[in-house]
């Protein structure tokens, strides 16, 4: 049985239309799957509607999404001859209450199925959009009294998230093929929307959690620093304690040993502290130590290491100072305090100074060498106290002096 030319032409046109429609549908789905750059939900709405109108014969689309028990008009898109113009929800746009009967939209909501509207005037917001986009120039066909309307419920796991309404000026435009494709499109869109919300929520939680962790880390570091300060600072005097002195002095001593440079140690004792403390309160005793500490701070050089040793004693590491230099340093401290006799605190103080200086560079163990210097400075201070001297250097002591000091404890 043969076909006439008219039949072949008709068949070709039908196949051609179906092919073009299939290509357009694939283009929509492909473009939709590539929408990954939206930063906000509003941006996602606009991109989805733009893709839809650019690839399908839809003249107007309106997206309603549920919010606060209402279905709100969140975004619209209008085909304007050669381009798509999208708008986001404005405060003066109508909010669709789910309890209000608005025909096709209400039917889509209540049934959860695609609904059609035929032979009805396009909604007022449609015409208003057209006028606003075109500055009063009505798009051809927009104000026709008859139009086609398709409303697709946006469902996921039997939960309604919104409605997508599509409009065309031609009566009875939408077909079963349209319904099949736009249902697929709607399902893909709602899944994209849920994924977007989930991702945004995760990002928000990550941001909040990161902020909490950063704050906790900051607090931990602050507490760690406070603990370190408390463990290295003597509270009454405000000076570093023995632990800090040993650590810092060993570092400075390592340099002196490596380059065979002078290095001295100085112990200063308020020899009458117990006598002064006997007639004073606990806080007044702290004030005595604090006053002496403040005075000593003003005399140290950059690089010197001043610390509170114990009881009524203070200790200094003096890099680069020889035996004679250390004596001059001790004399200068005593002279400064002598000049401050007008201060009642200093006037009653009796200070003793013991000194020692590095002389052997063969031992490179800083811990051992530092311990030796401190021990010798302590011996010199005790010998000076026994001999009635205010300043005494270990090198001034004879072997018998050293034995006597050690024996006396």
Q: What is the pLDDT of residues 366-381, one digit of tens each?
A: 899 999 999 999 999 8
Q: E-assigned strands of 276-359?
A: 305-310, 313-319, 351-357
Q: Which two tokens stand for residue 144?
A: 């026709």
The chain-wide mean pLDDT, for the chain, equals 77
Q: How far is it, in rounded angstroms, from Cα 172 to Cα 148?
A: 6
Q: Is residue 95 scored above 90 in pLDDT?
A: no
How far CA 46 is from CA of 71, 96, 169, 190, 292, in Å, comes to 18, 20, 22, 14, 75
Q: Is residue 237 scored above 90 in pLDDT?
A: no
Q: Is residue 275 scored above 80 in pLDDT?
A: no
> Lowest mean pLDDT: which of 4-8, 42-46, 115-119, 375-379?
4-8
Q: How far is it, in rounded angstroms, from Cα 409 to Cα 386?
A: 12
Q: How far is it, in rounded angstroms, from Cα 247 to Cα 377?
A: 18
Give the residue-averaged pLDDT of 222-239: 74
Q: What is the pLDDT at residue 404?
A: 62
DSSP 391: E
Q: How far is it, in rounded angstroms, from Cα 389 to Cα 375?
A: 18
Q: What is the pLDDT of residues 311-348, one digit of tens each?
A: 888 999 999 999 999 999 999 988 887 765 545 656 66
Q: What is the pLDDT of residues 153-168, one digit of tens each?
A: 998 888 889 999 898 8
Contact 326, 357 (CB under 8 A): yes
Residue 87 burial (CB count, 10 A): 19
Q: What is the pLDDT at residue 262?
A: 94
Is residue 175 very low, low, confident or very high in pLDDT (cuts 50, 70, 90)? Answer: confident
Q: What is the pLDDT of residues 67-90, one digit of tens each?
A: 777 788 888 888 877 777 777 765
Q: What is the pLDDT at residue 293?
A: 86
Judged by DSSP in three states, 93 sits in coil
Reduce the secondary structure of 199-256 to three states and give it as a string: HHHHHHHHHHHHHHHHHHHHHHHHHHHHHHHHHHECCCCCCECHHHHHHHHHHHHHHH
Residue 153 burial (CB count, 10 A): 23
Q: Is residue 137 scored above 60 in pLDDT?
A: no
Using the CB atoms, write b or e for 256-282: b if 16+ within 10 Å.
Answer: bbeeebbbbbbbbbbbebeebbeeeee
Give the residue-averaged pLDDT of 256-283: 81
How far CA 205 is from CA of 202, 212, 295, in Å, comes to 5, 10, 54
Contact 249, 267 (CB under 8 A): no
Q: What is the pLDDT at residue 143?
A: 44
Q: What is the pLDDT of residues 217-229, one digit of tens each?
A: 888 888 777 766 6
Q: Is residue 138 scored above 50 in pLDDT?
A: no
Most confident of the ranges 17-31, 116-130, 276-290, 347-361: 347-361
Is residue 265 very low, low, confident or very high in pLDDT (cuts 50, 70, 90)? Answer: very high
Q: What is the pLDDT at residue 230?
A: 62
- Higher pLDDT: 88 or 179? It is 179
Q: What is the pLDDT at residue 354?
A: 94
Q: What is the pLDDT at residue 37?
A: 67
Sign of CA dihedral 46, 50, 51, 52: positive
DSSP 139: P
Q: Which of 401, 288, 400 is nearest to 354 (CA)?
A: 401
Percent of the chain with pLDDT over 90: 19
pTM of the model: 0.47
Q: Is residue 16 scored above 80 in pLDDT?
A: no
Q: Which two tokens stand for residue 169?
A: 């000026």
237 strand-pairing partners: none
Q: Is residue 116 scored above 50 in pLDDT?
A: yes
Give the residue-averaged pLDDT of 246-263: 92
Q: What is the pLDDT at residue 318?
A: 95
Q: Is residue 15 scored above 70 in pLDDT?
A: no
Give the residue-averaged pLDDT of 360-365: 84
Q: Which of 297, 292, 301 is nearest to 326 (CA)?
A: 301
For the chain, domains (ranges, CATH) are: 5-200 (3.30.450.40), 242-408 (3.30.70.270)
Percent of the chain with pLDDT over 70: 71
């Amino acid at each position: 049985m043969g076909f006439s030319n008219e039949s072949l032409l008709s068949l070709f046109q039908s196949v051609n239309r179906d092919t073009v429609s299939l290509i357009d549908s694939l283009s929509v789905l492909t473009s939709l799957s590539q929408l990954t750059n939206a930063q906000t939900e509003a941006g996602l709405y606009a991109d989805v509607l733009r893709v839809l109108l650019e690839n399908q014969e839809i003249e107007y689309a309106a997206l309603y999404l549920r919010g606060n028990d209402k279905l709100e008009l969140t975004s619209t898109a209008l085909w304007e001859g050669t381009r798509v113009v999208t708008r986001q929800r404005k405060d003066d746009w109508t909010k669709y209450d789910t309890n209000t009967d608005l025909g096709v939209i209400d039917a889509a909501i209540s049934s959860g199925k695609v609904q059609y509207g035929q032979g009805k005037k396009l909604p007022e917001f449609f015409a208003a959009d057209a006028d606003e986009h075109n500055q009063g120039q009505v798009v051809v066909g927009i104000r026709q009294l008859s139009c086609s309307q398709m409303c697709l419920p946006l469902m996921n796991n039997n939960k309604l998230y919104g409605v997508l309404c599509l409009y065309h000026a031609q009566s009875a435009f939408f077909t079963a093929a349209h319904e099949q494709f736009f249902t697929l499109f709607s399902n893909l869109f709602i899944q994209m929307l849920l994924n977007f919300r989930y991702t945004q929520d995760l990002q928000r939680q990550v941001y909040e959690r990161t902020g909490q962790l950063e704050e906790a880390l900051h607090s931990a570091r602050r507490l760690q620093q406070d603990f370190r300060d408390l463990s290295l600072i003597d509270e009454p005097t405000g000076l570093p304690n023995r632990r800090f002195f040993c650590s810092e002095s060993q570092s400075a001593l390592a340099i002196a040993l490596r380059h065979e440079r002078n290095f001295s140690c100085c112990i200063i004792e308020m020899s009458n502290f117990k006598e002064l403390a006997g007639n004073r309160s606990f806080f007044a005793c702290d004030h005595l130590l604090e006053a002496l500490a403040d005075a000593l701070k003003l005399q140290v050089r950059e690089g010197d290491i001043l610390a509170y040793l114990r009881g009524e004693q203070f200790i200094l590491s003096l890099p680069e100072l020889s035996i004679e230099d250390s004596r001059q340093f001790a004399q200068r401290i005593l002279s400064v305090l002598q000049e401050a006799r007008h201060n009642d605190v200093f006037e009653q103080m009796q200070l003793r100074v013991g000194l020692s200086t590095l002389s052997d560079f063969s031992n490179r163990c800083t811990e051992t060498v530092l311990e030796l210097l401190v021990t010798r400075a302590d011996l010199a201070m005790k010998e000076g106290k026994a001999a009635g001297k205010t300043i005494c250097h270990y090198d001034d002591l004879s072997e018998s002096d050293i034995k006597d000091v050690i024996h006396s404890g």
